[in-house]
């Protein structure tokens, strides 16, 4: 099976802001002010409407105001009842590359011993009985065997463990459902069973509280979806979830210890670590949960290889920020570090539960139920689980349990890469490796100032650019100013028509989303990356920052910008012959390696040869799927892919692998219209069920779905690389690949824009 993740990001939403009230009593007055000014024909500078409330975080009484103009922001900041206004930011799931290891439970093995080597014993003295963990992520497959039953300890203790999805704040239709808490908005049953179409949320939930792969197999697990199916979300979704946890504690619905685990984050809205640590909306929310309700929040430190104090929620003073280590006790190269990191935990090559609604990655799947991921996302839930363990020995007290965990952490065992800077070794909190309690553990509960071990770093100026550390950069709605649009074509760069000069073939490159013009593309790349040599822009939104420019690849449209005065490199040599994949098939090889970053077949060839030896062919599928092949014994026969197969120049194509050409052309007129998913997107419906086996063609996908679900099916999604088939019951949110001509959506123009 072939798999490649396509990054989907919602197009620029209307600007949203948190409006922090000086006290709860001002809520109604400020809300009335917003409503009145929004409808005032004389207040042309003011636009905005209240879309959400934060009511239960006592240190953060706030409103969320949608569609806010700059004039409205300035006016709101001037109100006596308002103590702060902060733009709603974006967060993302924090996992890194994935690959398999022999012993997938090494992380649980590591935390129950002081030093290496691993002894192969993953047993736990305490298992989190009596604790409740809220995981805020992409959703949970509650039907997975890791969550389907309580472990033995909870059964014998009389503690009744719960595992369930209780809320979703992500995107279009938020819901909260747990009747004993007074939450009665019930979604479809399959959303309660499994609303994780990304896989990240189920994986981190297993690391925390899975029956065999988790640190706290007897803790109750309540999942709140705050990231969408592509792994992205916004800070107002996160704060709404934190407010909901505060509501549960305020109403006395969970009297025992409560821990929150958040494997998500993004850059703080400020470059001042002091603000990020104590004054940001996220920091105030986490502080309120800690001081008012005794709820402890664990956050992933971040995967930027940077100081965590510039990222949120890791920087929050009352958050327990977790960095990541590997099986050799090395701090992972991607892990953030510094004064805002409180503890390290295993985070590389972590095996955990696989959501049944996820398109699995071959190289990481151990079997049908488990996969391996890496990131500080994997470290944070392990720390949350260990706190739950300590809370079993310190009943009803997550705060003391956290202090005991930090005091009991193993010291003096970690090593660091030289390129991680002095931030790790200079801060003692970065030399703490999380340790489970055992009979010999002294439960020292003296209070620790989580982020007080080292001084915060200095305010970071705008020249602190990255040396291509990021795989992509998502620009905020207000990243660009009017000046960016007024830049002349000869400011810092020379501009060319891509059709005339081609575009750069680069092995160091990053995609930037959010640039509307070539000038904005250059400005965004130059502001983020030090060794920029060129950018390539193609309307709409396609902006690539190039760190090198070995040669120029041919293209028919777009704009190429190179550093001012630089000579355009020669065209890349045509070292290959090009064929339509539909006509010749694709190569079958042992390598079959997906590579990220190619936006054309020529660039795919360039990347494969730069990253692998012995490349004889590549397969490219628009807009950005590139597979490298190191042999070509036979051609696997396929059709209707829209792909391109490149083989070495002059090489003779081998015979097909078999005589059974999979025809994708129906013999009779199909009851659907067919669309390219890359052009129109796909449906997101209430059904959204995947056929368990591989399906050879779109027509067979339609037939399989119709047979399984009957007339409810109005669309299906089929992917040639994986031959996976998804059945859809409606098309109310995004665009389908195929639509029943008899449905209400059958002949609609489905050209709503989607970035790919």
Q: Which residues are catalytic?
A: 137, 200, 377
Q: What are the distances in angstroms from CA 258 to CA 178, 298, 618, 662? A: 17, 11, 51, 54
Residues 6 or more apart whose CB falls under 8 angstroms from that of 710 comprise none
Give the DSSP H or E segment for 290: helix 281-293
Kindly give the interhelix angle for 398-408 and 376-393, rounded to the nearest 10 degrees.
110
Contact indicator for 632, 584 with CB cutoff of 8 Å:
no
Contact indicator for 212, 158 with CB cutoff of 8 Å:
no
Secondary structure of 208-272 as H, E, C letters: HHCCCCCCCCCCEEEEEECCCCCCEEEHHHHHHHHHHHHHHHHCCCCCCCEEEEECEEEECCCCC
Contact indicator for 341, 301 with CB cutoff of 8 Å:
yes
DSSP assignment, residue 532? -
CB atoms within 10 A of CB 276: 27
- Residue reference for tokens 């240190």: 59
CB atoms within 10 A of CB 68: 24
Q: What are the distances in angstroms from CA 700 to CA 239, 595, 639, 723, 726? A: 44, 29, 14, 10, 11
List 91's β-bridge partners, or say none: 233
Helices (H) and strands (E) in the chain, counts: 20, 41
Report CA Rg, the chain: 26
Closest Cα to residue 66, out of 85, 51, 84, 45? 51
Contact indicator for 194, 201 with CB cutoff of 8 Å:
no
Contact indicator for 350, 378 with CB cutoff of 8 Å:
yes
Closest Cα to residue 204, out of 136, 274, 107? 136
- In three-state secondary structure terms, 522 is helix
- In three-state secondary structure terms, 180 is helix
Contact indicator for 384, 334 with CB cutoff of 8 Å:
no
Closest Cα to residue 142, out of 223, 245, 216, 198? 223
């Amino acid at each position: 099976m072939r798999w490649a993740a396509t990054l989907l990001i919602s197009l620029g939403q209307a600007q949203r802001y948190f409006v922090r009230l000086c006290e709860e009593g001002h809520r109604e007055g400020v809300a009335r002010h917003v409503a009145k000014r929004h409808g005032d024909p004389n207040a042309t500078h003011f636009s905005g409407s209240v879309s959400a409330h934060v009511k239960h975080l006592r240190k953060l009484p706030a409103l969320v105001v949608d569609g806010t103009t700059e004039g409205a922001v300035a006016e709101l900041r001037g109100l006596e009842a308002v103590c702060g206004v902060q733009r709603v930011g974006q967060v993302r799931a924090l996992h890194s590359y994935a690959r398999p290891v022999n012993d997938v439970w090494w992380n649980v093995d590591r935390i129950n011993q002081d030093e290496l080597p691993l002894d192969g014993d993953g047993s736990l003295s305490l298992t989190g009985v009596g604790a409740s963990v809220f995981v805020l992520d992409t959703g949970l497959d509650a039907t997975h065997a890791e969550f389907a039953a309580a472990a033995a300890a909870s059964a014998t203790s009389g503690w009744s463990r719960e595992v369930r999805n209780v809320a979703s704040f992500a995107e279009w239709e938020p819901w909260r459902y747990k009747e004993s808490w007074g939450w009665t908005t019930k979604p479809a049953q399959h959303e309660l069973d499994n609303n994780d179409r990304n896989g990240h949320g189920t994986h981190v939930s297993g690391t925390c509280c899975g029956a065999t792969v988790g640190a706290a197999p007897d803790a109750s697990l309540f999942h709140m979806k705050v990231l969408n199916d592509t792994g992205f979300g916004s800070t107002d979704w996160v704060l709404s979830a934190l407010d909901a946890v505060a509501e549960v504690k305020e109403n006395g619905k969970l009297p025992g210890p409560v821990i929150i685990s958040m494997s998500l984050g993004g850059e703080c809205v400020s470059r001042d670590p002091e603000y990020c640590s104590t004054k940001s909306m996220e920091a105030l929310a986490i502080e309120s949960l800690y001081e008012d309700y005794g709820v402890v929040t664990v956050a992933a430190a971040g995967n930027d290889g940077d100081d965590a104090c510039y990222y949120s929620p890791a920087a929050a003073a009352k958050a327990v920020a977790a960095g990541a280590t590997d099986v050799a006790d090395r701090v992972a190269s991607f892990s953030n570090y510094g004064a805002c990191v409180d503890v390290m935990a295993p985070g590389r090559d972590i095996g955990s539960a696989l959501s049944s609604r996820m398109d699995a990655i071959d190289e990481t799947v151990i079997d049908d139920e488990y996969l391996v991921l890496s990131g500080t996302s994997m470290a944070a839930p392990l720390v949350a689980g260990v706190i739950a363990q300590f809370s079993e020995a310190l009943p009803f007290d997550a705060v003391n349990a956290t202090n005991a965990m930090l005091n009991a952490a193993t010291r003096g065992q970690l090593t660091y890469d030289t390129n991680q800077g002095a931030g790790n070794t200079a801060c003692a909190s970065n030399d703490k490796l999380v340790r489970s309690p055992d009979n010999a553990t002294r439960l020292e509960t003296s209070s620790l100032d989580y982020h007080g071990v080292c001084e915060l770093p200095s305010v970071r100026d705008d020249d602190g650019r990255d040396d291509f550390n990021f795989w992509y950069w998502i620009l905020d709605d207000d990243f660009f100013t009017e000046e960016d649009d007024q830049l002349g074509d000869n400011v810092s760069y020379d501009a060319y028509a891509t059709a005339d000069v081609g575009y750069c073939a680069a092995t160091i490159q990053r995609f930037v989303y959010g640039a509307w013009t070539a000038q904005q593309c250059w400005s965004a790349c130059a502001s983020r990356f030090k060794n920029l040599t060129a950018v390539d822009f193609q309307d709409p939104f396609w902006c690539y920052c190039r760190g090198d420019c070995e040669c120029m690849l041919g293209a028919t449209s777009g704009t190429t910008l190179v550093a001012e005065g630089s000579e355009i490199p020669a065209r890349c040599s045509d070292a290959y012959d090009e064929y339509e994949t539909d006509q010749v098939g694709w190569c079958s090889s042992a390598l079959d390696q997906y590579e990220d970053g190619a936006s054309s077949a020529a660039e795919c060839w360039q990347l494969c040869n730069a990253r692998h030896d012995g490349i004889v062919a590549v397969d490219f599928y628009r807009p950005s799927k590139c597979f490298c092949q190191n042999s070509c014994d036979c051609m696997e026969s396929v059709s209707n892919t829209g792909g391109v197969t490149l083989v070495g120049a002059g090489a003779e194509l081998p015979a097909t692998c078999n005589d059974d050409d999979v025809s994708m052309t129906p013999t009779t007129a199909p009851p659907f219209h067919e669309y390219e998913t890359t052009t129109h997107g796909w449906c997101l419906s209430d059904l959204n069920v995947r056929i368990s086996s591989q399906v050879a063609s779109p027509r067979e996908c339609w037939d399989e779905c119709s047979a399984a679900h009957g007339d409810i099916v109005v669309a299906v999604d089929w992917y040639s690389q994986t031959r996976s088939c998804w059945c859809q019951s409606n098309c109310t949110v995004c665009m389908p690949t195929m639509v029943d001509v008899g449905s209400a959506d059958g002949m609609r123009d489905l050209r709503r824009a989607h970035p790919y």
